[in-house]
């Protein structure tokens, strides 16, 4: 049972037959034309996805990081053309402990030493640190955001935020946080960019996670499950007013919007609606968290999440076993999961999972929590091999 779900890239389930069929069918017709020429799939996809999400325009890319970079470029260009920010002074604010990708611009926004160290120099005018105060903008802190906006508002083009922080450990903000951030952005004429690469596409029990706060961000970033896990596809959704700040020839990608990816994305989005994955994630998410909270184990510190994006926080002071060792034991018993930030286990099963399968997963987790306390580390399947590699607990975080 896959409770990692390729970091929410296979929300529709592994190798979904409709999505694979779309891939195979289009692969026999035309896979790539480049954006220098028209093809009959991109236009259909652009119409489909903009109507699907209710945005005026889409700019297709390939990876989530590429889409985030595109969002930043759009915001900067809008800032210069529409807001009147002085040349080369545009700021894009993010939050501490964010994760938006691994490119050089994006790690410049990061506060994670594993992502940053050894990759400098960093891009200026992006990130969570407020130059005026020297403090980082904490996630879920409207006060920090307000202070940064008050200090630098005329130069701030955008606020880039995850509706739920994924790699930080499934950090769910207070109800209304995103709405308050949006209202603050409007007050200061700042764009809100919602990074929905991991939280979007039904994962949290809404089509987009921003809908929990009834927010419609100025720019939305999509990726991962936009292809159902069979092809790298990402997208930037926004209004004409923002998108048309970039003129032909100023931004692009050889593979962005290729007919193969477009056909796959249409099928992947159709599956979400046809199989009611939004509603399913909402209902099963409540049942899943309720069942996890009923587990009587000293190792459970807390359970949190929305929809089927959840975290099991392990109290490693109650045992000599780690969250990583628990995941090794879970793997040996047929359930795939992985820690993020050492003691937090992300639990994000495919959205096509049945309630029976989900509860079977809960039973596996419950028994593993019970058994691991008295187990010798050497008896945990895979532990000896893993320890010889000397890998950190967070190895291979997305």
Task: Confirm whether 11 is domain-assigned.
Answer: no
Give the separation between CA 106 and CA 118, rounded to whole angstroms: 14
Active site residue 388: no
Residues 163 and 70 in one domain: yes
Residue 8 lies inside a defined structural domain of this protein: no
Please tell me the distance from the alpha carbon of residue 25 to that of residue 7, in angstroms, as a whole number.
Answer: 27
Q: Last residue of a domain, which of 274, 301, 326?
A: 274
Q: Does some domain include residue 27?
A: yes
The CATH code of the domain that includes 380 is 3.90.1150.10
In terms of residue numbers, what domain contains 22?
16-274
pLDDT tens string, the chain, 398 residues long: the values are: 999 999 999 999 999 999 999 999 999 999 999 878 889 999 999 999 999 999 999 999 999 999 999 999 999 999 999 999 999 999 999 999 999 999 999 999 999 998 999 999 999 999 999 888 888 999 999 999 999 999 999 999 999 999 999 999 999 999 999 999 999 999 999 999 999 999 999 999 999 999 999 999 999 999 999 999 999 999 999 999 999 999 988 999 999 999 999 999 999 999 999 999 999 999 999 999 999 999 999 999 999 999 999 999 999 999 999 999 999 999 999 999 999 989 999 999 999 999 999 999 999 999 999 999 999 999 999 998 877 665 554 444 55
The model's pTM: 0.96
Q: Which residues pair with 237 in a beta bridge?
A: 58, 220
d(CA 336, CA 347): 9
Task: Answer yes or no: is 6 within a domain.
Answer: no
* CB contact set of 52 (below 8 Å; sequence gap of 6+): 269
For residues 264 and 283, state if they share a domain.
no
Domain count, the chain: 2
Identified catalytic residue from 99, 149, 159, 288: 99
**Does 9 map to a domain?**
no
Say yes or no: 236 and 381 in one domain.
Answer: no
The total of other beta-carbon atoms located within 10 Å of residue 372's CB is: 21
User: Which residues, other chains included, contact 190 with Cβ-Cβ below 8 Å and sequence gap of 6+?
Assistant: 149, 153, 156, 157, 158, 159, 184
At 153, is the secondary structure helix, strand, or coil? Answer: helix
Is residue 258 located within the same domain as residue 301? no
Q: Is residue 350 domain-shared with residue 240, that is, in the same domain?
A: no
Q: Is residue 130 part of a domain?
A: yes
Query: Is 398 one of the catalytic residues?
Result: no
3 annotated active-site = no
Last residue of a domain, one of 274, 294, 324: 274
Q: Which of 274, 307, 325 is the last residue of a domain?
A: 274
Q: Is residue 3 part of a domain?
A: no
Q: Which of 77, 83, 206, 224 is catalytic?
A: 224
Count of beta carbons in the 10 Å neighbourhood of residue 223: 29
Distance CA 383, CA 14 (A): 27
Same domain, 202 and 316: no
CA 223 to CA 229: how far, in whole Å?
Answer: 10
List the CATH number of the domain containing 254.
3.40.640.10
Active-site residue, selected from the candidate residues 42, 83, 195, 218: 195
Q: How far apart are CA 201 and CA 305, in angstroms?
A: 16
């Amino acid at each position: 049972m896959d409770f990692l779900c390729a970091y929410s890239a296979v929300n529709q389930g592994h190798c979904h037959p409709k999505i694979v069929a779309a891939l195979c069918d289009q692969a026999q017709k035309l896979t790539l034309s480049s954006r220098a020429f028209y093809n009959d799939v991109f236009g259909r996809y652009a119409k489909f996805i903009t109507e699907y999400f209710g945005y005026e325009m889409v700019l297709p890319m390939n990876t989530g990081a590429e889409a985030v970079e595109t969002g930043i470029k759009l915001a900067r260009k809008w800032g210069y053309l529409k807001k009147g920010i002085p040349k080369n002074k545009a700021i894009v604010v993010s939050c501490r402990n964010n994760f938006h990708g691994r490119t050089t611009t994006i790690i410049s926004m990061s506060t994670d030493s594993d992502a940053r160290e050894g990759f400098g120099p960093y891009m200026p005018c992006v990130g969570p640190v407020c130059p005026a105060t020297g403090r980082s903008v904490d996630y879920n802190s409207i006060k920090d955001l307000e202070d940064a906006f008050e200090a630098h508002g005329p130069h701030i083009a955008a606020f880039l935020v995850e509706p739920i922080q994924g790699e930080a450990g499934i950090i769910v903000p207070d109800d209304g946080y995103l709405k308050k951030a949006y209202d603050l952005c409007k007050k200061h004429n700042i764009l809100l960019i919602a990074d929905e690469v991991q939280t979007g596409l039904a994962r949290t029990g809404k089509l987009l996670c921003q809908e929990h706060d009834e927010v419609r961000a100025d720019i939305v970033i999509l990726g991962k499950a936009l292809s159902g896990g069979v092809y790298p596809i990402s997208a930037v959704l926004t209004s004409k007013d923002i998108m048309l700040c970039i003129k032909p020839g100023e931004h692009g990608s050889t593979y962005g919007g290729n007919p193969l990816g477009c056909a796959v994305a249409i099928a992947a989005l159709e599956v979400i609606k046809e199989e009611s994955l939004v509603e399913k994630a909402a209902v099963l998410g409540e049942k899943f968290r309720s069942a996890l909270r009923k587990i009587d184990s000293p190792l459970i510190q807390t359970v949190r999440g929305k929809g089927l994006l959840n975290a099991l926080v392990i109290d490693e002071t109650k045992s000599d076993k780690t969250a990583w060792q628990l995941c090794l034991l879970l793997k040996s018993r047929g359930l795939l999961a992985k820690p993020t930030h050492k003691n937090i286990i992300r639990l994000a099963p495919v959205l096509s999972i049945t309630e029976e399968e989900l509860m079977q997963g809960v039973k596996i987790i419950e028994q593993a929590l019970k058994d691991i306390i008295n187990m010798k580390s050497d008896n945990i399947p895979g532990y000896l091999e893993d320890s010889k590699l000397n890998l950190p607990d967070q190895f291979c975080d997305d």
